[in-house]
Amino acid sequence: MTDSLLAVRGLSKHFISGNETVPVIEKLSFTLGQGQSLALTGRSGSGKSTLLNLLCGLEWPDTGTIVMQEQVFDAGRARGRGTTEAWSALRRQHIGVVFQEANLMPALSLLDNVRFRARLAGRDPKNSEDWLTRLDISELAGRYPDQVSGGQRQRAALAMVFAMEPALILADEPTGSLDRHTSDEVIRELFSLQVRYGCSLVLATHDAELADSCQHHLDLGHLSGV
Amino acid sequence: MIRYMGFILLSGLLAGCSGDAGDDGFAGLAGLERGGGANASAEVDYLQPGPETSLNFPEDFGPHPQHRIEWWYLTANLKTESGEPLGLQWTQFRQALQPRAKAESAPAAADWPLQAAWMAHAAVSWRGSHHFAEKLARGDIGHAGATAVPFQVWLDNWRLSGQPDSNLWRLQVSDDDLSYDLTLRIKGAPIGHGEQGFSAKSAGGEGSMYFSLVDIAITGEVTMNNETLAVSGKGWFDREWSSQLLKTGQKGWDWFALHLDSGDKLMAFRLRDDSGSFRSGTWIPAEGTPAPLTADKLNLKMLETREGVPVRWQLRVPAYQVNLELLAPPGNYTNPGLYPYWESAVDISGSHQGVGYMELTGYSD
Amino acid sequence: MTGIRSLYQRFCRTLLLPWALLSHYRRHPWQLAALAVMILVATMLWTGVSHLTSQARASLDQSEQAVAERQQVVRHDGQALRTDDFVSLRLAGVCVMPWLEVTPEAGNRLIGIDPLAARCFGDGAEAPGSWEQPLDGRPFVDIHAAATTDGIRESQLSLLVSDTTRAEALPPAYQLRRFSAGPDTGELGDSFLLNLEALGILVLLIAALLLRSVYLLGLTQRRNSFALLHRFGVSPDRVQRWLMLETFVLALICVVPGVWLGRWLAAGLGSGFGEALDNLFDIPLYAGQGQSWLTPALVMLAVVKVASLGDWLWLRFRQRLFVPAPVWAGVAAMLLLAGLVLAWLGPSLFWVFAAVALVFAGVGWLTPVAVARLAHWQAFRSEAPLVRWRYRELAVLVRRLTLPLVALQFALAMVLAVQALVTTFEDTFDHWLEQRLAAAYYIDVPAGSDSDEVANWLAGQQTETPGMEWHRVVRGHADFVDAGKADGQQVDVYALAPVSSLVRGWEFLEATARPWEHLAAGEGALINEQLARREEVGAGRTIQLDFGGQSLTLPVVGVYPDYGRPVGEVLLNADSLPDQFTPRSESYAITPGVPGIGPVVEAFHQIWGVQSLPMRDSDTVRELATGVFDQTFALTRAMTLLTLVLAASSLLMMGWVFFSARAWYFRLLEVWGMPKPQVAAQLVRLSLMLTGGIAVLALPLGIWLTWVLVHRINPLAFGWSLPMAVYPVFWLELGLLSLIIGLSIAVLMRRQLGRPGVAPVSANTLAGGER
């Protein structure tokens, strides 16, 4: 428990659709240690994105407990302002989220996006350029998101996430809209940086090959603990 | 002659019971009937003539303030010096807003009373064109009124006046583009229509007092658009008064006053209603006693219309071997006043020759 | 066979396209509704405004007509007129109507008229139209009702004749005289209405901008559908044609109820106006609904078409002529500059109106560009990423909301200008009334009466009566002799004696030291603004007047404003008038002091031996005049505020739509761990910066517009200027209003963000992805 970054116990989430209650996640439990990676697979609608949202406090579970960096979030307890703020603080400083698209503020240049994110996390924005260099897009620093390719955008998104020096990265199909080649490159960067900086990763993906690259695998179609 | 339709409207507006009173300038008087007559004895009712009412001269040349409506009316078939026909009309109406007994004195002029409204029309038709003027006034102020002795009917500077102990009258009318000054030589006694002057206007017995002077020789001057013409010819003068308005359903009025070359005169009218018409008239032979004509003795038929107005008629009185065709000269003879109506001379052909006048109401809409 | 098949295919293709285009609205009915509502509301606004303007004009015309000068008949012997006089004149064929003014012990003054007698005035322009109306109230009542009113304190019969009546037509015992029931407001009202109409055009422009913004929004949101159609091989021109048809049909459907609503609105506002006029005159002087439906409907259809087609035409133009953006900004700046210069120097009304158009075009063009630039510059200056983000977002906002922002800016500027204009007019009108009606009573000297005796009596009286002030006014003509010209121009002479304190409160446009003292000493003359402008004569110069051969040379000691009078006028001391001078009229201005006007009237009756005195009471006149103007002003304010409300609600709507499209990026802030209240605060700051900035930018435009209306258009149109005033408290009010709009956008947006499930579902189609 002490070296685990994230522990999930009996997590359930359902949605109301018309008169029906549709369970999305039922009694899910797993633990993820520091520096470990976990792949989430399952068909569309199996709850990958919902689980990621739950893991960063953007959504709230119906039952269960999430322990993140030794902070306990119990669905049984009322969701107060303190909890919301605690999740906000975690996202600001420790949890980096990468979506399939639109991870960047369109009105800011790539560099400004990275600096913005770093500054929010309380890191020194001066290192932002280094991150762009590390992700091989330093020459695009002054461009705006709509002036670069999808792969370059996702690289910038990775630069943003790593610039905040996160403990956990939640990636939701981060290369889902890229071609195979670009996707491979971006994923390679992701894994290599994750390993180098020792942060944990939860990766939601359709790609079985990609899932195999992770240390752990959770198929939400066939639920099992990790 | 009778302008029932117009007066219905006029009295409707004056009494404020017309729904669309705002359409006319006269609407200014809406609602005034009740308060119009100062504090005069409002208990007096309108008098309604009947078959038992008789004519009295010369009083009946003057006004009848206890009757609702009355008029003085002259039509003339004249000729210019070059022999061209010229038709002429003058009418003055009185409309009571509040009846007043004859014995009662008129309200003070300084209070600007409104017991009666007066309206005068003047028209001249010549060479197919028609000139018309209209004047309005409130009664009892002094600028409009009538007296029997001496005989005077006036509105502003328009005036018909008789001389005491004389058969000469003078008619003066002056307006912007129309004026005339005529001398009327009255021949013969007044002719009472219907039963000693009571002229029925419906089968139900409604009617009015009605008499005419049918033999008038006229000379004088007519001025139109700064051109003065010397004229002479014959005229027909009507007096009529009543308190009843048109019966429900009556739509309009066709009236004829004819001078036949034989020296005979003929008056005929027809009141149209939804189901048919009420006809009446008087045969006035050159010699002898006038004879009232009931509906069965009088046959009237429209032959031709001009823009909706019947301008050619057949008039038959079989009892007197009269079979006439009446035709208005070319032109439009509508009097475009507050209440428009048709007023034109007619030429007579058929069993007799002659001239006359025709008044038609209720065709304008 | 193939023919039929190809025909069928063509048929399908023809129908498929509109179907595909319309399917967008099937999925987004609210967009269609918003467009329809915008057309409807814009139509309503403009119809309402143009209707109100025409009503204001008609009402003003009527009220002016009611108080305008007319001709009356009076007796030569000065005796009061009676019913007998009316009768004799009518019998003589004179078209005369009675006007019986009675003041009861209790209640308001009544005016009795005789509608039957008024018939002879005819239906022409000189017919005193108002008594063709039902006489259902007061003061215009039937003359019988007026004559028999209970407890009459004062009663005076006047006999009005038509303006064409000539003195020769009257019987010998009578003469003609001017008749006036109130002051002639002259060109003051005309000038006001000219400005009002100019503003009506501005309202139309604002409506067009708003329509265009909604239309463009619709186009943006349908971009995907168009792209899809394009991929299917439909040419953009065909899509464009169908879109044109679509907007035309939509406009047709919405314009008619819009016109109806506009008339309803105008009737609602106008009836308040009518009621107020009724209270003043107690007669429906208010001009009812006379305007046709067709004009506003056609105008609005045209505006909708221009608003939607403008885009198409403009794009074609731009495609053919590629010009980089900075050049466009330069063109806009040139337009603005040219407009400003032209407004300053424009020689005629046309050029000044053209200048206004240029300035508005330039400002409308430059404002969004300038604000966006400014925001970029601010972002560049700042090191803090959050501040930088905020300014960059602002720049995007300004570009995306260009049209509604410009519309709001124009509306704010217009409201500002109208407020200043109306208040200035009110003040001016008050001054004008003060100047004209300084004394409590004005009594005309009857023709043939000895004026000096009265003057002596008044002079004797003044020493004994506290608070009494009076002067004699002699009016006539003189020729203004200009050395350079052969013929002198005729000017009005307004001579006073003594120069009482009643006039000494006048304000001057320019004056030498102690002008009144010079005038009292007969050592100077005052001239009005028109004369000063026309002859280019200022204080200190010398003028020469010719009175039938005898001339008078005097220095100009002051120039006074004489609002709305087109005629040049010279104010002199009556004692210095030469013998050749023939007075046209004489009157006395009297403030009677403590004992009241009673003893004065009595003395005048005795001295002149007449029973009736032509006397005007300035309180009544003032009350009558101000009431009418107050209402007209209120109407104008209502109209401009309505425009502002529309512009504001349109910005609100567009802002909301825009923010909704961009909601994901605000959500991103939350994902990045920014606490919700902070995200909300960012939203508020952003929208406040937007609307507050626009209000600040509207201020110079509004002040400039006021200046143009007051200092350029008015002098060019009427030859006299108004004082220019500014009202900072009103600016603050407008600023506050703008901030409220900003706050409302933020509040709406926050609710939007509060909903769960905001995600970049299809980020590449996200409308809010602009930078």
Distance from the Cα of A80 to chain C's closest Cα (Å) equals: 13
Residue A156 confidence (pLDDT): 92
* In a shared domain, residues C505 and C598: yes
Residues of chain A above pLDDT 70, percent: 96
For the residues C220-232, what does the mean pLDDT come to? 74
Indicate yes or no: CB of C385 within 8 angstroms of CB of A115: yes
Residue of A nearest to C391 (CA): A107
Q: Which residues of B319-353 are buried (b: 16+ CB within 10 A; e: fewer)?
A: ebebebbbbbbebbbbbebbbebbbbbbebeebbe
Answer for the pair B72, B213: CB distance below 8 angstroms, yes or no. Answer: no
DSSP characters over C131-197: GGS---SSSEEEHHHHHT-SSEEEEEEEEEE-TT--GGGS-TTEEEEEE-SS---THHHHHHHHHHH
Using the predicted structure, report yes or no on whether residue C280 has a pLDDT greater than 70: no
- Tell me if chain A has a CB within 8 Å of the CB of C385: yes
Q: What is the ipTM of this complex?
A: 0.91
Distance in angstroms (rounded) separating the CA atoms of residues C304 and C645: 20
Whichever domain contains B72, its CATH number is 2.40.370.10
- Tell me if chain A has a CB within 8 Å of the CB of C245: no
Interface B–C counts its CB contacts (< 8 A) at 90
Where does a domain end: C179, C203, C238?
C179
Task: Name the domain count of chain C.
Answer: 3
Residue of C nearest to A85 (CA): C675
Using the predicted structure, report yes or no on whether residue B180 has a pLDDT greater than 90: yes
Where does a domain end: C616, C646, C672?
C616
Question: Which member of A88, A105, A119 has the closest CB to residue C665?
Answer: A105
**For residue A153, which residues of chain C lie inside 8 Å, CB to CB?**
none
Which range has the worst mean pLDDT, B34-48, C209-223, C598-612? B34-48
Distance from the Cα of C762 to chain A's closest Cα (Å) equals: 8
* In a shared domain, residues C552 and C456: yes
Distance from the Cα of B36 to chain C's closest Cα (Å) equals: 7
- Tell me if chain A has a CB within 8 Å of the CB of C252: no
Residue B321, classed as helix, strand or coil, is coil
**For residue C118, which residues of chain B lie inside 8 Å, CB to CB?**
28
Query: Is it the case that chain C and chain B have 3 or more CB pairs lying under 8 Å apart?
Result: yes
Residues of chain C above pLDDT 70, percent: 77
Cα-based distances in Å from B182 to A109, B216, C73: 105, 12, 31
Question: Which member of C665, C764, C771 has the closest CB to residue A144?
Answer: C771
Using the predicted structure, report yes or no on whether residue C723 has a pLDDT greater than 80: no
Residue of A nearest to C397 (CA): A107
Residue of B nearest to C89 (CA): B156
Which pLDDT band, with edges at 50, 70 and 90, does C24 fall under?
A: confident
Distance from the Cα of C131 to chain B's closest Cα (Å) equals: 7
For the residues C646-673, what does the mean pLDDT come to? 80
Q: Which two tokens stand for residue C62?
A: 């009527």
Residue C416 confidence (pLDDT): 86
Distance from the Cα of A204 to chain C's closest Cα (Å) equals: 16
Using the predicted structure, report yes or no on whether residue C687 has a pLDDT greater than 80: yes
**For residue C114, which residues of chain B lie inside 8 Å, CB to CB?**
112, 138
Residues 143-162 of A with CB under 8 A from C: 144-146
Residue of B nearest to C157 (CA): B110
Per residue in B110-131, pLDDT (tens digit) is: 999 989 999 999 999 999 999 9
Q: Mean pLDDT score of chain C, rounded to an integer? A: 77
Residue C770 falls inside a structural domain: no
Query: Is it the case that chain C and chain A have 3 or more CB pairs lying under 8 Å apart?
Result: yes
Residue of C nearest to B31 (CA): C136
Q: Which chains touch A (3 or more CB pairs under 8 A)?
A: C
Distance from the Cα of B218 to chain C's closest Cα (Å) equals: 24
Domain that holds residue C216: 2-63+187-433+624-765
- Tell me if chain A has a CB within 8 Å of the CB of C334: no
Chain B interface disruption, residue of C135, C138, C148, most B CBs within 10 A: C148
Using the predicted structure, report yes or no on whether residue B16 has a pLDDT greater than 60: no
Q: What pTM was estimated for this model as a whole? A: 0.58
Q: Which of C509, C423, C515 has the alpha carbon at shortest distance from C721?
A: C509
Distance in angstroms (rounded) separating the CA atoms of residues C379 and B232: 104
* In a shared domain, residues C411 and C479: no
Which pLDDT band, with edges at 50, 70 and 90, does A212 fall under?
A: confident
- Tell me if chain A has a CB within 8 Å of the CB of C670: yes
Residues 1-20 of A with CB under 8 A from C: none
User: Which residue would you say has higher pLDDT here, C634 or C375?
Assistant: C375
Residue C695 falls inside a structural domain: yes
Using the predicted structure, report yes or no on whether residue B41 has a pLDDT greater than 80: no
Residue A38 confidence (pLDDT): 92
Using the predicted structure, report yes or no on whether residue B38 has a pLDDT greater than 60: no
For the residues B314-333, what does the mean pLDDT come to? 95
* In a shared domain, residues C168 and C193: no
Residue C771 falls inside a structural domain: no
Using the predicted structure, report yes or no on whether residue A9 has a pLDDT greater than 50: yes
Cα-based distances in Å from B141 to A70, B170, C416, C557: 110, 23, 58, 57
Distance in angstroms (rounded) separating the CA atoms of residues C90 and B19: 32
Q: Which chains touch B (3 or more CB pairs under 8 A)?
A: C
* In a shared domain, residues C129 and C195: no
Give me the residue label for tokens 């943003």. Answer: A160
**Range among A122-136, B65-79, C434-448, C627-641 with highest mean pLDDT value:** B65-79
Using the predicted structure, report yes or no on whether residue C365 has a pLDDT greater than 60: yes
Residue of C nearest to A116 (CA): C385
**For residue C675, which residues of chain A lie inside 8 Å, CB to CB?**
84-85, 88
Which pLDDT band, with edges at 50, 70 and 90, does B265 fall under?
A: very high
Residue C216 falls inside a structural domain: yes
Distance in angstroms (rounded) separating the CA atoms of residues B268 and B281: 4
Residue C246 confidence (pLDDT): 82
Residue B263 confidence (pLDDT): 94
Question: Which member of C91, C133, C136 has the closest CB to residue B143?
Answer: C91
Residue C592 falls inside a structural domain: yes
* In a shared domain, residues C54 and C200: yes
Q: Which of B54, B63, B35, B46 has the alpha carbon at shortest distance from B100?
A: B46
Residue C260 falls inside a structural domain: yes
Per residue in C284-317, pLDDT (tens digit) is: 334 444 556 677 778 878 887 777 776 666 666 6
* In a shared domain, residues C276 and C349: yes
Residue A70 confidence (pLDDT): 84
Distance from the Cα of A121 to chain C's closest Cα (Å) equals: 8
Indicate yes or no: CB of A88 within 8 angstroms of CB of C675: yes
Indicate yes or no: CB of C134 within 8 angstroms of CB of B114: no
For the residues C712-724, what does the mean pLDDT come to? 71
Residue B280 confidence (pLDDT): 94
Residue B19 confidence (pLDDT): 30
Where does a domain end: C600, C616, C632?
C616
Indicate yes or no: CB of A103 within 8 angstroms of CB of C668: yes
Q: Which two tokens stand for residue C670?
A: 């939350």
Which pLDDT band, with edges at 50, 70 and 90, does B142 fall under?
A: very high
Which pLDDT band, with edges at 50, 70 and 90, does B217 fall under?
A: very high
Going by their DSSP bridges, the two strands C550-560 and C525-528 should be labelled as: parallel
**For residue C674, which residues of chain A lie inside 8 Å, CB to CB?**
88, 92, 120
Chain C interface disruption, residue of A48, A58, A154, most C CBs within 10 A: A58
Indicate yes or no: CB of A102 within 8 angstroms of CB of C771: no
Residue B5 confidence (pLDDT): 33
Using the predicted structure, report yes or no on whether residue C551 has a pLDDT greater than 90: no
**For residue B114, which residues of chain C lie inside 8 Å, CB to CB?**
142, 144
Per residue in A123-158, pLDDT (tens digit) is: 888 888 888 998 888 899 999 998 998 889 988 999
Q: Mean pLDDT score of chain B, rounded to an integer? A: 85
Which pLDDT band, with edges at 50, 70 and 90, does C761 fall under?
A: very low
Distance in angstroms (rounded) separating the CA atoms of residues A201 and A96: 9
* In a shared domain, residues C411 and C345: yes
Cα-based distances in Å from A219 to A39, A60, A213, A222, A225: 8, 21, 14, 5, 10
Using the predicted structure, report yes or no on whether residue B151 has a pLDDT greater than 80: yes
Question: Which member of A56, A102, A119 has the closest CB to residue C385?
Answer: A119
Indicate yes or no: CB of B142 within 8 angstroms of CB of C87: yes
Which pLDDT band, with edges at 50, 70 and 90, does C89 fall under?
A: very high
* In a shared domain, residues C612 and C676: no
* In a shared domain, residues C633 and C726: yes
**Range among A198-202, C45-49, C398-402, C761-765 with highest mean pLDDT value:** A198-202
Going by their DSSP bridges, the two strands B152-155 and B144-147 should be labelled as: antiparallel
Using the predicted structure, report yes or no on whether residue B13 has a pLDDT greater than 70: no
Using the predicted structure, report yes or no on whether residue B231 has a pLDDT greater than 90: yes
Residues 120-159 of B with CB under 8 A from C: 134-138, 141-143, 154, 156-157
Residue B147 confidence (pLDDT): 94
**Range among B181-185, B305-309, C151-155 with highest mean pLDDT value:** B181-185
* In a shared domain, residues C423 and C509: no
Using the predicted structure, report yes or no on whether residue C649 has a pLDDT greater than 80: no
Distance in angstroms (rounded) separating the CA atoms of residues C392 and C409: 21
C662: Cβ contacts below 8 Å, ≥ 6 apart: C768
- Residue C498's identity, in one-letter code, is P
Using the predicted structure, report yes or no on whether residue C393 has a pLDDT greater than 50: yes
For the residues C156-177, what does the mean pLDDT come to? 85
Residue C733, φ and ψ in degrees, nearest 5: -60, -45
Residues of C with CB under 8 A from a CB of B: 82-84, 86-87, 90-93, 98, 100, 112, 114-120, 131-136, 142-148
Using the predicted structure, report yes or no on whether residue B22 has a pLDDT greater than 70: no
Distance from the Cα of C414 to chain B's closest Cα (Å) equals: 40
Q: Which chains touch C (3 or more CB pairs under 8 A)?
A: A, B
Task: Name the domain count of chain B.
Answer: 1
Residue C251 falls inside a structural domain: yes
For the residues A16-30, what does the mean pLDDT come to? 84
Q: Which two tokens stand for residue B261?
A: 């070359």
**For residue B25, which residues of chain C lie inside 8 Å, CB to CB?**
115, 119, 132
Question: Which member of C92, C114, C132 has the closest CB to residue B138?
Answer: C114
Indicate yes or no: CB of C115 within 8 angstroms of CB of B25: yes
For the residues C743-753, what does the mean pLDDT come to? 82
Query: Is it the case that chain A and chain B have 3 or more CB pairs lying under 8 Å apart?
Result: no
Using the predicted structure, report yes or no on whether residue B36 has a pLDDT greater than 50: no
Domain that holds residue B83: 4-361
* In a shared domain, residues C524 and C377: no
